[in-house]
């Protein structure tokens, strides 16, 4: 994929001292935790959960479950679409690194994990809402998500990405609460049991425009499967410690954000239908503002429409019509 767009990357450490930048999309998981009076306690507890999860999964040669800790960097990506130095915040993802305290080595993890995008907010909270307003049956407009998908693949193929990261991203999300998942006989030593959905979801379709495939796995001691979006070969392109870094991070966020699915008192069976109406779950001690998240998603989508989509409409349309999506 060839592009005139210019991408710039900066990173911010996610630790107990983290404070969201002005351009950060505030509905993203890590930003939501870092706000309010309990922000530092929230962050400290979340990071502790991630480290405990990691050591439970990486249990070999780790008798005290204290061998590893996970370092997280927020990767913030800006794009200049006009070539005039004016940038717009496109996406934020997380980059994991693993510290082995037995060998004093730092091991590269996976980039991706969480996924934050203003253009995605625009697609879901503006485009999709307008398209279905006043209609009896839900539908998706033609070419839905195409611009976002091409921009994401363009970034992954860019020199900026390849200079900073050695492998393609892996993004880990919750399962869809309106689909049914069936357990298979396939087992992975870290990711656990593979599940397959009975039909595709809108999220799957959206990530397909980004060039990503999806597989669903439920790790040991988890209560539900996770959706892993990836390029290439998920099970063979990454080491066990790399996969554990993603799983331990995103399992923590999902237990905090969606305890109805991921912190329940029962586990998924052979046939699994997630439900956000489930009341049989435990809450974590980390404060998460779901109401603010829902409200801000719409505000962020409208902000993206005004400050990016409409402002650069001609450039974006011409660019999207002239490129063929192809990443790794």
pLDDT tens figures, 135-185: 889 999 999 999 999 999 999 999 999 999 999 999 999 999 889 999 999
pLDDT at 4 exceeding the cut of 90: no
- pLDDT reported for residue 2: 47
Q: How many residues does the chain have?
A: 328
Q: How far apart are CA 40 and CA 312, in angstroms?
A: 38
Angle, in degrees to the nearest 10, between helices 202-209 and 146-156: 50
Q: Is 163 exposed, middle or buried (0-12, 13-18, 19+ CB in 10 A)?
A: exposed
> What is the side-by-side order of every strand in the sheet holding 170-174?
6-14, 68-80, 88-100, 105-117, 170-174, 226-230, 213-218, 192-197, 181-188, 271-272
Q: What is the pLDDT of residues 26-62, one digit of tens each?
A: 556 566 676 667 778 888 999 999 999 999 999 999 9
- Does the pLDDT value for residue 273 go beyond 50? yes
**Tens of pLDDT, residues 92-138:** 999 999 999 999 999 999 999 999 899 999 999 999 999 999 888 99
pTM: 0.92
Q: Is the pLDDT of residue 11 over 60?
A: yes
């Amino acid at each position: 994929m060839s592009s005139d767009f210019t991408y710039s990357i900066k990173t911010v450490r996610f630790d107990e001292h983290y404070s969201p930048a002005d351009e950060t999309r505030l509905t993203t998981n890590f930003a939501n935790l870092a706000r309010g009076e309990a922000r530092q306690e929230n962050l400290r507890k979340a990071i502790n959960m991630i480290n405990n999860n990691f050591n439970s999964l990486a249990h070999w040669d780790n008798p005290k479950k204290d061998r590893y800790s996970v370092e997280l960097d927020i990767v913030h990506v800006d794009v200049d679409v006009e070539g005039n130095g004016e940038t717009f915040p496109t996406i934020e993802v997380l980059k994991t690194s693993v510290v082995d305290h037995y060998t004093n080595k730092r091991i590269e993890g996976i980039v991706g994990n969480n996924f934050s995008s203003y253009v995605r907010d625009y697609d879901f909270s503006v485009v999709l809402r307008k398209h279905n307003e006043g209609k009896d049956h839900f539908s998706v407009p033609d070419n839905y998500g195409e611009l976002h998908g091409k921009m994401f693949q363009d970034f992954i193929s860019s020199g900026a990405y390849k200079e900073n990261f050695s492998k393609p991203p892996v993004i880990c999300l919750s399962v869809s609460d309106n689909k049914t998942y069936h357990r298979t006989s396939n087992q992975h030593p870290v990711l656990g049991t593979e599940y397959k959905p009975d039909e595709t979801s809108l999220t799957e379709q959206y990530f397909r425009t980004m060039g990503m495939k999806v597989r669903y796995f439920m790790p040991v001691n988890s209560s539900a499967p996770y959706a892993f979006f990836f390029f290439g070969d998920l099970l063979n392109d990454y080491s066990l410690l790399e996969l554990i870094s993603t799983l331990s991070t995103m399992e923590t966020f999902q237990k905090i954000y969606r305890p109805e699915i991921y912190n329940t008192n029962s586990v998924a069976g052979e046939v699994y239908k997630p439900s956000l109406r489930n009341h049989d779950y435990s809450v974590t001690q980390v404060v998460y503002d779901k109401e603010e998240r829902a409200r801000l998603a719409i505000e962020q989508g409208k902000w993206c429409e005004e400050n990016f989509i409409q402002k650069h409409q001609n450039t974006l349309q011409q660019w999207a019509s002239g490129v063929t999506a192809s990443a790794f």
